[in-house]
Amino acid sequence: MIRKLQAAATAAMTVAALGAPVESGPLLPDLRQAPVGCPGGTARDPGQCRDWDVCLVEDPLAANGPCLSTGPAGAVRLRFTTSADNVGDGPLVIYAQRSGAESVMRARQAFQSGVDRSIPGSYETAQRDLPATVYYEPAATHEHWHLLDFEHFMLRTPSGETVANDRKTGFCLGDRYATRDARDLPARPHDLSSPEGRLALFLRENTCRRGEPAALDVKQGISVGYGDDYDYEVDFQWLDLTHVPSGVYDVVNVVNADRALVEKDYENNASSLAISLEWPGGAATPPAVITTAPRVRVLRSCPGEIRCAEQL
């Protein structure tokens, strides 16, 4: 199914390039992982982004802060903003539904037609089943339906060994910001009365059925030229540094890691940030009782790359 959709889209672009009639294949999205620790849509040098911090917390089981100015601390967290753009030929559209007896929703991806620009309007007419489920997150900062496995982040050594994984619970996708190159993307919504324009109007305000745990269906996605971001102060926007030794590491962020979502291009799905981590006093390992946060410095930012520290 993935190859058929990508082949149809490629053929359509080739025909369009030759000046033939409008493409007939599906218009695929292209998810681009934005630079780690940068606000969504920023055009600044990624190495200068400061949407991250090191947070000492008292309760290691807490989803978020408050951050302590000094310990003793139960956990140390590197918090950072993550963002994913859609720079493709068509919108990312996901429908989910369940029966009243089910606790989670099944999900499908829908594709815009290159013939009449129509977009499927329901789960039943969406074209591709997804392995990920959609569940209701009751936490006070969310209280809406979340898509699982959209994006993941991890801490890795320069050789690629993972030393810390995320605990992110899911995502409510919408058009939260314009991408830095939105004006250069011909497929971005221009006419708000068009199918993609009407979808964009919905996604700008999409809250994924907030406050509706009894909902049986939900729609979410990202229009071309827009992105979805999660600020570093949001629940679970962190990696646990509590037991990580001093050293150089990559903070790696990957959207659509399992390639379950069909895209035009998968080569831009990862971004990384090389950091140095140093415990107080130059200690090689964390102290038994943490009273002071380790020093974390950004060494290099590598948008579009899954490894960054090995390039130093």
Strands 75-80 and 52-57: antiparallel
Q: How many CB atoms lie within 10 A of CB 148?
A: 16
pLDDT confidence of residue 310: 85
- Whole-angstrom distance, CA of residue 120 vs CA of residue 27: 12
Please check the confidence at residue 4 and state whether its pLDDT lies above 80.
no
pLDDT confidence of residue 306: 96
| Residue 63 phi, psi (nearest 5) | -70, -25
Q: Identify which of 131, 171, 133, 137 has the alpha carbon closest to the alpha carbon of residue 151.
A: 171
- Whole-angstrom distance, CA of residue 290 vs CA of residue 88: 46
pLDDT confidence of residue 12: 45
pTM of the model: 0.91
In the chain, how many domains are there?
1
Task: Quote the mean pLDDT of the chain.
Answer: 92
Q: What digits encode the pLDDT tens for the residues 41-74? A: 999 999 999 999 999 999 999 998 899 999 899 9
- Whole-angstrom distance, CA of residue 199 vs CA of residue 94: 12
Domain that holds residue 207: 2-311
Q: What digits encode the pLDDT tens for the residues 175-233? A: 999 999 999 999 999 999 999 999 999 999 999 999 999 999 999 999 999 999 999 99
pLDDT confidence of residue 140: 81
- Asked if 37 and 49 count as a contact pair (C-beta separation under 8 A), the reply is yes
Structure tokens at 11: 């053929």
- Whole-angstrom distance, CA of residue 107 vs CA of residue 286: 42
